[in-house]
Amino acid sequence: EVQLQASGGGLVQAGGSLRLSCQTSGFTFDDYAIAWFRVAPGKEREGVSCISNSLRSTWYSDSVKSRFSVSSDNAKNTVYLQMNSLKPEDTGVYYCAAARWIVGGLWDLAREYDAWGQGTQVTVSS
């Protein structure tokens, strides 16, 4: 059974940093793309970033590019999202999700993902 568990959220001041972790189990880590999505208050779910080891690719939304960095630790089956220069508009619940097959141009579509973890709250104060 594919399982994902997100952690690392918290309260931080604008300009600060957080690192989210997505611990995975139940599947061959390298075979899946792992993405981060977020849901901000009053807004729709938004794809933030994605990493695919099989495609040797990473993707970012325009809103986080140059501030966020996604990486993976294959030995720990864990994906990380390093978030720097945080802004109040980065506030939201962050989810990680896994997709067996991903096309680069569709990485930010929630329907492409087969399994989801529970969310972790990120709050950025101004």
pLDDT recorded at residue 105: 86
pLDDT at 38: 98
pLDDT of residue 103: 85
What the block records as the tokens of 120 is: 């972790």
pLDDT of residue 23: 98
Sheet holding 18-25, edge to edge: 3-7, 18-25, 78-83, 68-73
Instruction: Find out whether 95 and 21 touch, Cβ atoms under 8 Å.
Output: no
- The pLDDT score that the predictor gives to residue 125 is 97
Residues with pLDDT less than 70, the chain: none
**What gap in Å lies between CA 55 and CA 52, rounded to an integer?**
5
Cβ(68)–Cβ(15) under 8 Å?
A: no
Give the number of other CB atoms < 10 A from CB of residue 106: 14
